[in-house]
Amino acid sequence: MAKIDLFENFEKNLSFEVTENIYRAFQECSSDMNPLHTDEEFAKGKGFENCVMYGNILNAFISYAIGMELPTPDVMLQLQDIQYKKPVYLNSKLIMNLKTEEIHEAVHVVVFTYKFTNEKGKIVAKGHIQIGVFE
């Protein structure tokens, strides 16, 4: 069986939580101190419930999913897009649904759709991921 065949009908749900540690680690590595993410009064003044978490924290969760949760580690991320639909707040619990959308056997490429859903069942982000599969 070719490794690319492992992705036929692949679907996985992964749980994540945006903890204080994750928030602080992302803040430290990015040096992004935008008040939307750091100042509760500022964020509330813009119509949000609280400080909005960094959208790219979700990209870190995507990195984990691709690097650690696929049927083989013999993959390389090639392309990714993300659409942010709703804000994510500190301590939000998210479910990421990752599902094969297309397989291109001739070039060893798999395209996935994904979505992150919050505790209220609302989609907070969605997009596509393309990986190359090493044979």
In the chain, what is the greatest distance between 2 CA atoms, to the nearest angstrom? 56
The number of distinct structural domains making up the chain is: 1
Please name the amino acid found at residue 7.
F
Tens of pLDDT, residue by residue over 7-37, are 999 999 999 999 999 999 999 999 999 999 9
pLDDT surpasses 90 at 125: yes
Q: pTM of this prediction?
A: 0.95
- Three-state DSSP at 70 gives coil
Helix segments in the chain, DSSP class H: 20-30, 35-38, 40-45, 56-68
Domain carrying residue 27: 3-133
Tens of pLDDT, residue by residue over 53-85, are 999 999 999 999 999 999 999 999 999 999 999
pLDDT surpasses 90 at 1: no
Q: What is the mean pLDDT of residues 2-10?
A: 97
Between helix 56-68 and helix 20-30 the angle, nearest 10°, is 100
The torsion angle over the Cα atoms of residues 70, 85, 83 and 103, rounded to 10 degrees, is 40
Q: pLDDT value at position 54? A: 98
Please name the amino acid found at residue 61.
F
Q: What's the CATH number where 44 sits? A: 3.10.129.10
